[in-house]
Amino acid sequence: MAGLKASIAAVFSNRHRAVGEVVGDGWRIAHAERGLSFWHEVACGPFEVALRGGGMGDGGSLSVHVIFVVRGGIDVLQWGRARSLSAGDVYVSCGWLPLALKVDEHLEALICELPAWWAIRRFLDATLVSPDLFVDHDFFAAPVIQTMARAVFDLASTQEATPGLEMLAGLLRSGLAAHVDLSRPMPRVVGRMGRILQFMIAKIDQPGLSAHDAAAELKCSPRTIYKTCSDGGTTFNAMLMDVRLLTAQHQLLRGSDPISQVAYAVGFVSLSHFSRQFKERFGVTASAYRQARRQSG
């Protein structure tokens, strides 16, 4: 099952993948892009894989993965907490934290990969909660969440996917908040890497953010910020640039603001600098990206 293990690892590796299908002996994984999200439909037998988590060291970006279990079961371990998921359960995995997955018999699931900055803004910042990031299948709205996830996966249009994701995020926000363990409250964005990311998202419109600014906000030393980013396979500046560019990408996709306004809104002080960085990151200019996505949508 080496091919299955590698394919499952790729789903959570924060890499940009082509749409399509990968099939092996007794397993299948289908990949699809829906707006700013990337989806994976998994049907497989037993496997076990451990992932180190991290940032952009492998060529991807910080992501959140939402696992919607359709049939079978899967054991997950993250942030020192183990949970066995069964049909109807929903679990949110933070891509900057180590993750272990194990399937003993059979699994059918949808996995939605989202930019971490978007997920934090939409449904991970709702409250102080235990770090389980979990919605139980017995929760009254769990079937609605599962149905909405399937509906977004089945969409073919970016224009339809964007409002679909917003509605799904609203359902997740309510479901996760309803599962708060009041005896052990802690920030939704667990881990120092998550708090650095949250700092960047909150201050994204401010030019010139530095590791020293983050250290002052998080009440630690700049060296701690540097080391945390290094352990995640990235640097503070590279991570900040990725957050700015991914936010700009989303604004170009869903809005009609002038490109200059989008650039300034995500913290760039120079339109030419933004243009160079955007083309280097996505392979096309911002204007060409917006035009191509609207034509394809």
Q: State the burial class of residue 29 (Cβ atoms within 10 Å of its Cβ: 0-12, 13-18, 19+).
A: buried
Closest CA to 195 of 266, 120, 251, 267: 120
Where do the structural domains in the chain lie, given as residue ranges? 2-186, 191-296
CATH class of 191-296: mainly alpha
Whole-number Cα distances in Å, 115 to 131, 223, 246, 271? 19, 26, 8, 24
Cα 171 to Cα 152: distance, rounded to the nearest angstrom: 13
- Answer for the pair 148, 77: CB distance below 8 angstroms, yes or no: no
Q: What is the pLDDT of residue 87?
A: 96
Q: Which distant-in-sequence residues (6+ apart) come within 8 Å of 208 by Cβ? A: 269
pLDDT for position 216: 94
Contacts of 171 (CB under 8 A, 6+ apart): 141, 144, 145, 148
Neighbours of 104 (CB within 10 A): 14
The pLDDT of residue 295 is: 61
- For every residue of 224-246, DSSP letters joined together read HHHHHHHHTTS-HHHHHHHHHHH
CATH of domain 2-186: 2.60.120.10
Residue 109 burial (C-beta neighbours within 10 Å; 0-12, 13-18, 19+): buried
Contact status, residue 271 vs residue 263, Cβ threshold 8 Å: yes
**pLDDT confidence of residue 292:** 73
DSSP-assigned letter for residue 54: -
| 29 vs 9: CA distance, rounded Å | 12
pLDDT by 10s per residue, the chain, length 297? 678 888 888 888 765 566 788 888 889 999 998 888 889 999 999 999 988 765 444 434 578 899 999 999 999 988 777 899 999 999 998 877 778 999 999 999 999 998 877 887 788 765 433 456 889 999 999 999 999 999 999 987 667 788 899 999 999 988 887 876 555 544 444 567 778 888 888 888 999 999 999 999 989 999 999 988 887 777 899 889 988 888 888 788 767 789 999 999 999 999 999 999 998 887 889 988 888 766 655
Start-to-end CA distance of the chain, whole Å, equals 37
